[in-house]
Amino acid sequence: MKQNKNLKNIIVTALLLTFSYFAGQGIAHIQNVYAFGAILPAGSSASANWGLSFQEEGKAPLGNASASYLKDFDAYFVEETEEKKIYLTFDCGFENGNTPAILDALKKHNAPATFFIVGNYMETSPDLVKRMVSEGHTVGNHTYHHPDMSKIGEMEAFRKELADLETLYEEAIGQPMTKYYRPPQGVYSESNLKMAQELGYQTFFWSLAYVDWYQDQQPSHEEAFAKLIPRIHPGAVVLLHNTSQTNGEILDELLTKWEELGYSFHPLSELAGEALPELPLTPGKTPESSS
């Protein structure tokens, strides 16, 4: 009897320790996700900041909304794949001299990208936008004024932020803007996702980014590589800012390093399940300077 009692105590203790371990892991995981942004409950009218939790090097992070949840709204942040594919995207708030170097590096590597622009960029840098298009890249909608779109509850006001940029783009480029939308600052709500979907837009977040947007606190090349190399993963949607001097300086080397790891570059249309456009580029061809 005494032996049975001891065995029972050992089993109970082991079960309690196991439960405590997994409970602790769950709490740690939740804290990790919430450190990057609030999780948006399904059906909620609340807003959230897009956030990521990296669990393992070389693996896709967890977002504060799942890929399956987002897909219901024609929205994406990563491709769930084992293929070493990268989707390059750039947010363009204004031009300060780095975009030509970025375009040169993309052309050298025959790498398609999507540039999410705002109204100010379209107004001040139409020649660069024309170059993006002529070199086979996609230009997406980052709204006209770059507001917190989650605070816009009326469809007409939401539509205007996108439509005003569409009009400006079509007047300058001579063709309709691709209906790809990126919420400014990554702030979104379920109602925003629905409104974008109703307007025919697909929404794109990201699965890899780093702090590159502070003009007076630009990361060193080493700091950039330390973030962007270990965290790259199959199906990554990479967000970089064109305003970053560091990005302009490292992009050629960064793309080379990713290629050496076995990655290739793909257009967002592939992630969205659309027909793939052909890039009018030749690998290794010397980039032409921007006009």
Q: Print pLDDT tens along the chain (291 aa).
A: 544 444 455 444 444 433 333 333 333 332 333 334 445 555 455 788 999 999 999 999 999 999 999 999 999 999 999 999 999 999 999 999 999 999 999 999 999 999 999 999 999 999 999 999 999 999 999 999 999 999 999 999 999 999 999 999 999 999 999 999 999 999 999 999 999 999 999 999 999 999 999 999 999 999 999 999 999 999 999 999 999 999 999 999 999 999 999 999 999 999 988 643 444 433 333 323 332
Other CB atoms within a 10 A radius of the CB of residue 191 amount to 18
pLDDT value at residue 47 = 84
CB-CB contact of 67 with 77 (8 Å): yes
Q: Is the dihedral of CA 150, 156, 161, 166 positive or negative?
A: positive
- Token code pair at residue 216: 């007076």
Catalytic residues: 91, 241
CA–CA gap between residue 105 and residue 100 (Å, rounded): 9
pTM: 0.81
How far is residue 11 CA from its own chain's centroid?
Answer: 47
The residue written with tokens 């980052």 in the block is 142
How far is residue 183 CA from its own chain's centroid?
Answer: 10
